[in-house]
Amino acid sequence: MTPTTRRYAGMSADDRASDRRARLLEAGLEVFAARGASGATVTAICAQAKLTERYFYESFGSRDELLQQVVDAVSNEIRTDALDALHSPASTVEQQVENAISAFVAVLTEDTRKGRVAMIESNAVDSLRTHRRESMRDFARLVAGEAHDLYGDNAWPEPESEINGLLFIGGLAELVVAWLNDEIDVTPKQIVDAATRQFVSTAHR
């Protein structure tokens, strides 16, 4: 006989494990944003998720592993939304660029938990700093590649294109961090406008 998988409330064991993992990721986003890296303990995250620590370690090896996966989820959302916006119909290249940057900024500012965790708290954890730098380099390479697609032979060649990509991503990230920390009195739209002007003026010859 083929063994059957017991189901509870219409969910298989795999479905329940996936549901618990999703709850822990959402709880991690909430707790890291609210308490910061120093206050986001496994106990606090489990309490937020209404799960025991046994279920935490079913999905994650450590608190820092959970944080890395939360950050990766935010990064993937940014990448998907920005590329979708960039490749949507637009009247000009500048409008394409503005749409992509607006989507990038929106992920980090419309739900400020995502901005704080991905941009601030990830940099406060030693084990994630290298991962964060690698993620920034990935975005810089993405920016350089998209600039070549947008401007063709007029785009800067390597290594200038990657240098510009790093300058652009690093500057945009610092603007968002300053906004999240209430260090600058600007709107997300003003950040988008400034970043669009910078990209359009530096991405090609």
Predicted TM-score (pTM) of the model is 0.92
Of 3-17, 87-101, 103-117, least confident by mean pLDDT is 3-17
Per CATH, the number for 63-202 is 1.10.357.10
- Percentage of residues of the chain with pLDDT beyond 70: 96
Range 119-125 contact pairs with CB under 8 angstroms and sequence separation of 24 or more: 119/173, 119/176, 119/177, 119/180, 120/177, 120/180, 120/181, 121/32, 121/33, 121/36, 121/37, 121/40, 121/67, 122/67, 122/68, 122/71, 124/36, 124/37, 124/38, 125/37, 125/64, 125/67
pLDDT band per the 50, 70, 90 thresholds, residue 1: very low
Q: Please say if the pLDDT value at position 32 is more than 90.
A: yes
Residue with tokens 């290594």: 159
Q: What is the mean pLDDT of residues 113-120?
A: 97
DSSP 101-140: HHHHHHHHHHSHHHHIIIIIGGGGSHHHHHHHHHHHHHHH
Contact predicate 69/25, CB 8 Å:
yes
Would you kindly state where each structural domain of the chain is located, as residue ranges? 9-61, 63-202
Q: What is the reported pLDDT for 90?
A: 96
Instruction: Dig out the tokens for 74 from the structure.
Output: 């935010």
Burial of 133 (0-12, 13-18, 19+ CB in 10 A): exposed
Per CATH, the number for 9-61 is 1.10.10
Dihedral, 42, 44, 48, 53 alpha carbons, nearest 10: 40
Q: What is the reported pLDDT for 2?
A: 42
Q: What is the reported pLDDT for 127?
A: 87
pLDDT band per the 50, 70, 90 thresholds, residue 4: very low
Q: Please say if the pLDDT value at position 185 is more than 90.
A: yes
Distances from the Cα of 196 to the Cα of 58, 75, 92, 104, angstroms: 44, 20, 13, 12
Q: What is the reported pLDDT for 11?
A: 84
Choice between 8 and 142, residue whose per-residue pLDDT is larger: 142
Q: What is the reported pLDDT for 10?
A: 72
- Mean pLDDT for the chain? 94
